[in-house]
Structure 1
Amino acid sequence: MMIRVINWLAPLGLAFLLAACRPADDIAAQLHLTGNTMGTYYSVKVVGAGDSQAEVLQAEIDRRLELVNDQMSTYREHSELSRFNQYRGEAPFKVSSDTAKVVTAALQLGRDSNDALDVTVGPLVNLWGFGPDARPTHIPSAEQLAEIKAETGLAHLSVITKADGDYLQKSLPGLYVDLSSIAKGFGVDVVSEYLSEQGLTNHLVEIGGEVRTSGLNAHGQDWRIAVEKPGQGESMVQQVVALANTSVATSGDYRNYYELDGKRISHTINPATGKPITHRLASVTVIHPSCMMADALATALTVMGTDEALAYAEQNGLAVYLLTKTDDGFRVDMSSAFEKYLRG
């Protein structure tokens, strides 16, 4: 998680000083709601809402996020997705329209990115010790890798829409779908869209570092978001961006890794090889109108590596900010579409 919302009175240099020039009576009322979801936290800031609305808004936000968990969590045994993963048949398996929407988006991005995003690689993640299984004591053998890899692949997953609803279908009995690379962003979108439906169009929604902004902040300005510099110690701001009516998500592999047989083992798996990535791209930040897509794109671009990710971003008009590890720090690359968001 490398996205941080810049709060009023946060001592973050120029971004704070510019905001501080506004008169105090220009500051609008703001309601701040927090809670837990999807194994992490959420933070919602609603401009123009008062304490009298807090209980109703929080209850509805919690209800909608609980529904997303009941649909797409792999940690809940009886969620839609868990039941589909346990299902061994090849007949279509009925799911909610939300689950079908998220899987459809994952399949589309998978195809567009040459399978850089593959929501079926969960067994490979487990093999390398980043799931519920214990970490391996040695690098998995080619035979182990081939056996597990044969149980993955987007080609074995499809979404079917019928008159009576939406269905998922698998052509491999053991196919396992994990939407952790996209569902958090979808949850952000769900909350943001609910607030807009209530006429609360100036707000910011964050779930575990994935952020969607709408309208303006309490000072009547674009929302300021800090991209953190990769590192193991105290977090430092790498770049500040100003956002309105769009989303931002960051993916990186610099924290979640371990050493095995003298090699660095990243938690990010390349679906093409079935192995952890080995390139030096440490952090990918994506700005996109949909937080669901920003979330998924950040993962896909991390898999690609710096050069391919930057080329893909330019080809598709994506706003992307990349930090690549060098021998003496980090190199910054960004797509041309990202530059308009820079602040400080």
Structure 2
Amino acid sequence: MKYKKGLTLLSAGVMAAVLSLGVTGCNEKTQPQATDIVAEKTTQVTKLEGKTFGTFYYITVPGGYPGGKETLQKDAEFVFKKVSDAISTFDKNAEIARFNDFKSTEDFVISGYLANIIEEVSRQSLRVDQAMDPTVGPLVNLWGFGPSGDIKKSPTDELIAQTKSYVGLDKFELRRAGNTAYLRKADPRVALDLSTIGEGLAADELAALMDEKNIPSYMIAVAGAIRSKGGNADGKLWRVGVEDPLSQGAKVFQVVCPQGMAISTAGSYRNFFLDEDTNKFYSHVIDTKTGRPIDHRTVSVTVIDKSAMVTDALDTGLLVLGAQEAVQWGNKNSTPVYAIEIDDEGKQVATYSRAFEPYLKCVVNQNIATAAPPAQGSN
């Protein structure tokens, strides 16, 4: 399955590494959802790791997975294929790819599953003033980060303006008639790109599957998107790490205790190209309002919510807005947001919303090894 380089994921340009040790310092009174932590250690653990969407995934199930590692792998592959079949822009047989290739303004039939995804992504887009926009596809391709292939030179102002003319939530229509859903383009050149939520969607689907199996504890990491429940094999809260953006390796910048919530990080420093004429680096994260890659000093944004698909959508939009606006948005919307930017001296500075603070209570030692190789984002 080929996704940019996988999904050309606009989110999760960073790792969210699973940390090996649980902690006792988390504020369980502040976060009551953390009270379902496993009380006893377990020696039976099912672990699985591999590649999907052009990036890595890691799954750990303390207490063991029904059917063992073989069944877990089959279930994971089923989920990844389900997501890919719906939203891949690299697989020509995927629904989104076929819609993008449909050069017409007539109705295009899509599945109810894809319709639900598009509706949710559009809703989250509006929440962040369309800083994350599912119609970004033509701009992603223009800058060489899509299925059309890489480029080594930035496009002209005229070409950017022309492409922007068919980008925006008003450039497509989604409607339903009974059990059938339809997409319609306002311009035949409209192309959707849902890769920003691919990792989070896959993590949510796997978590839902495990919940159906009544699995009390698990950790699912699909690159920078994580879902977890219960506790680790030592019976303590799961911890994850936000990657150090300036590190050349898998170094943790901040330890976070998600306490059963979804968490994902979008970063601007993993996927970029160097313009051979100007010798300037361009990030894969595109601001649809300018039609250009972001060029501010914010290098990553982490978001916590109940759904990893939601965090994957929000972290991308908030990264586009930049650290100051992202944290302000988090405070206004009571959403946990954590941003890292580079100051005038070239140092990394973190700021976060008030709602994020309880998830930092579990930090007792940031020099902790990861339980598995960090899941690198595809960007």
**TM-score above 0.5, yes or no:** yes
Alignment of 1:320-339 (within 5 A): 320-326=337-343, 327-339=345-357
Asked if the contact 1:31–1:51 (Cα under 8 Å) also holds between the matched residues in 2, the reply is no
Identity of aligned residues (%): 33
- The partner residue of 1:57 within 72, 86, 99 is 72
The C-alpha deviation readout for 1:165-210, integer Å capped at 9, x for no partner, is: 2222221111111111012211110011001101113111111221
Find the counterpart in structure 1 of residue 101 from structure 2.
86
In structure 2, C-alpha distance between the alignment counterparts of 1:337 and 1:163, rounded to whole Å = 40
Structure 1 residue ranges (4+ consecutive) displaced by more than 6 angstroms after TM superposition: 15-19
1:298 aligns with 2:311: no
Give the strand-richer structure, 1 or 2.
1
In structure 1, C-alpha distance between the alignment counterparts of 2:218 and 2:207, rounded to whole Å = 8
TM-score calculated relative to the size of structure 2: 0.82
1:209 aligns with 2:209: no
Residues 88 and 129 (structure 1), Cα distance of their counterparts in 2 relative to 1, 3 Å cut: closer
Residues 165 and 212 (structure 1), Cα distance of their counterparts in 2 relative to 1, 3 Å cut: same
1:287 aligns with 2:304: yes
Letter of the aligned partner of 2:112 in structure 1?
Answer: S
CA shift, 1:63, in A, is: 1.4
CA shift, 1:136, in A, is: 4.1
Find the counterpart in structure 2 of residue 96 from structure 1.
111
In structure 2, C-alpha distance between the alignment counterparts of 1:51 and 1:100, rounded to whole Å = 32
Name the SS for the 2:232 alignment partner.
coil
Letter of the aligned partner of 1:2 in structure 2?
Answer: M
Q: Alignment length, in residue pairs?
A: 333
Letter of the aligned partner of 2:340 in structure 1?
Answer: L
TM-score calculated relative to the size of structure 1: 0.90
Query: Which stretch of the first structure deviates more once superposed, 266-275 or 153-162?
Result: 153-162
CA shift, 1:287, in A, is: 1.0
Letter of the aligned partner of 1:123 in structure 2?
Answer: P
Alignment of 1:20-31 (within 5 A): 26-31=41-46
Find the counterpart in structure 1 of residue 16 from structure 2.
3
- The partner residue of 1:133 within 125, 149, 156 is 149
Find the counterpart in structure 1 of residue 268 from structure 2.
253
- The partner residue of 2:90 within 70, 75, 78 is 75
Asked if the contact 1:120–1:154 (Cα under 8 Å) also holds between the matched residues in 2, the reply is yes
Residues 164 and 206 (structure 1), Cα distance of their counterparts in 2 relative to 1, 3 Å cut: same
Asked if the contact 1:2–1:230 (Cα under 8 Å) also holds between the matched residues in 2, the reply is no
Residues 27 and 48 (structure 1), Cα distance of their counterparts in 2 relative to 1, 3 Å cut: closer
Alignment of 1:98-247 (within 5 A): 98-131=113-146, 132-137=148-153, 139-247=154-262
CA shift, 1:32, in A, is: 0.6
Find the counterpart in structure 2 of residue 12 from structure 1.
none
Letter of the aligned partner of 2:347 in structure 1?
Answer: G
CA shift, 1:18, in A, is: 8.2
Cα RMSD for the two superposed structures: 2.2
In structure 1, C-alpha distance between the alignment counterparts of 2:143 and 2:97, rounded to whole Å = 21
Name the SS for the 2:161 alignment partner.
helix
Find the counterpart in structure 2 of residue 308 from structure 1.
325
For structure 2, the 5+ residue unaligned runs are 1-13, 27-39, 364-379
The C-alpha deviation readout for 1:100-157, integer Å capped at 9, x for no partner, is: 12111111112221110111112212222323334243x4322111111112211112
In structure 2, C-alpha distance between the alignment counterparts of 1:4 and 1:83, rounded to whole Å = 34
Asked if the contact 1:184–1:292 (Cα under 8 Å) also holds between the matched residues in 2, the reply is yes
User: Which structure is higher in RCO with an 8 Å CA cutoff and minimum separation 6?
Assistant: 2
